[in-house]
Amino acid sequence: MSQELELFDAVFPELVTFLTEKGLKDPEIADASKWFKEVIEYNVSYGKKNRGISVITSYILLVPNSSDEELHIARVLGWCIEWLQAFFLVADDIMDASSMRRGRPCWYKRKNVNNIAINDSFYMEACIYQILKHYCKGKPYYVDMMELFHETTMQTVHGQCLDLITAPTDGSVDFSLFTVERYDAIVKWKTAFYSFYLPVAVAFYMAGITDEKSHSHAKVILLKMGHFFQVQDDYLDCYGDPQVIGKVGTDIEDNKCSWLVVTALGRVNEEQRQILKENYGRQDSDKVAQIKLLYKDLEMERLYREYEDSSYYQLLTLIDQLNGSLNKDIFINFAKKIYKRNR
């Protein structure tokens, strides 16, 4: 993995140069291109890169004797997913009024950035299609890739909308919306499609796998995995070490429809429900402490550990049932990456 990460990282400067070099030489837009170069370097290259790397590892398992040229394109396409992630996160941080991302100030919190970050997020989305056109035009999978990234963006936007209207930032809390069904929908559309199905689907199309059955079976497995991943994320937001996860968790004060609060609502008595109602979704450290104390009383850490173990083994069973003629290591590798993760 460390060697592949080095090879993956080595592609990034090439893409930055491709996207900015022409603009930097044009006096009319040179200032904008200089700005956008900083946007890219600050926001795209500092994540864990699991999504991007998963394109390459999946493609190699599908096409073991792939050429150096195709491996290079697989790395480029992996970076397209990292660009998509950066586009989502810059916009999401503004909408959530977040302060930290990946251990550093959110982009919009930087000096002289503010709402310019909205335009910067649009720019990073546009970069994806410039990269696809430059590296994939003429390839048999070019149109499939274009449609896949557009469709994934639409899916994620739907999920973001569900998240925002379920947990508005105006301070109102409506627990009637915090259902298991709504939580599952938010996770599926906001996270699972782009984080899990997209990297494998990119590898599939590169490998010439276009049949509906293969994509459908992979989607069932990977959306389930995405749900597992988001529950972990919700847990880490509350219980993770900020120095490890790279941010201070704020789901409680931000009124998020997280796995913890949805599960808690299914277990509380009337007195405990009142504690939730009075303290959840409030920008007050004492009220956040009250919620965390309630979570302790409800044994949420134990419930999460039970969920994590049972979901992991359910995933392995699902992989055995649905992988068909595909190399099941594609899916097992994903599952192993996220099982017992702490960031």
CB 117 within 8 A of CB 95: no
Q: Check residue 47 and report its DSSP letter.
A: S
| DSSP-based three-state secondary structure for 46 | coil
Placement of tokens 């920008």 in the chain = 283
How many whole angstroms separate alpha carbon 12 and alpha carbon 86? 14
How many whole angstroms separate alpha carbon 79 and alpha carbon 50? 10
How many whole angstroms separate alpha carbon 66 and alpha carbon 63? 5
pLDDT in tens, the chain (343 residues): 578 899 999 999 999 999 999 999 999 999 999 999 999 999 999 888 999 999 999 999 999 999 999 999 999 999 999 999 999 999 999 998 888 888 899 999 999 999 999 999 999 999 999 999 999 999 999 999 999 999 999 999 999 999 999 988 777 789 999 999 999 999 999 999 999 999 999 999 999 999 999 999 999 999 999 999 999 999 999 999 888 877 788 899 989 999 999 999 999 999 999 999 999 999 899 999 999 999 999 999 999 999 999 999 999 999 999 877 788 999 998 888 888 888 7
How many whole angstroms separate alpha carbon 53 and alpha carbon 69? 16
Name the maximum alpha-carbon separation found in the chain. 66
Catalytic residue list: 48, 87, 92, 96, 101, 163, 190, 229, 233-234
pLDDT at 1: 55
How many whole angstroms separate alpha carbon 209 and alpha carbon 58? 12
Size (the chain), residues: 343
How many whole angstroms separate alpha carbon 178 and alpha carbon 183? 7
Reduced 3-state DSSP string for 185-218: HHHHHHHHHHHHHHHHHHHHHHCCCCCHHHHHHH
CB 256 within 8 A of CB 168: no
Placement of tokens 């173990």 in the chain = 309
Cα–Cα nearest to 257, from 175, 188, 195 = 175
| DSSP-based three-state secondary structure for 318 | helix
CB 239 within 8 A of CB 201: no
pLDDT at 138: 96
Q: What angle do CA 11, 17, 22 make, to 5 degrees?
A: 150
Dihedral pair phi/psi, residue 230, rounded to 5°: -70, -35
Cα end-to-end distance, the chain, whole Å: 17
Reduced 3-state DSSP string for 62-110: HCCCCCHHHHHHHHHHHHHHHHHHHHHHHHHHHHHCCCEECCEECHHHC
Q: Check residue 249 and report its DSSP letter.
A: -
329-338 helix and 50-62 helix, angle to the nearest 10 degrees: 160
pLDDT at 103: 83
Query: Which helix (H) or strand (E) element contains residue 158?
Result: helix 142-166
How many whole angstroms separate alpha carbon 132 and alpha carbon 138? 10
Dihedral pair phi/psi, residue 336, rounded to 5°: -65, -30
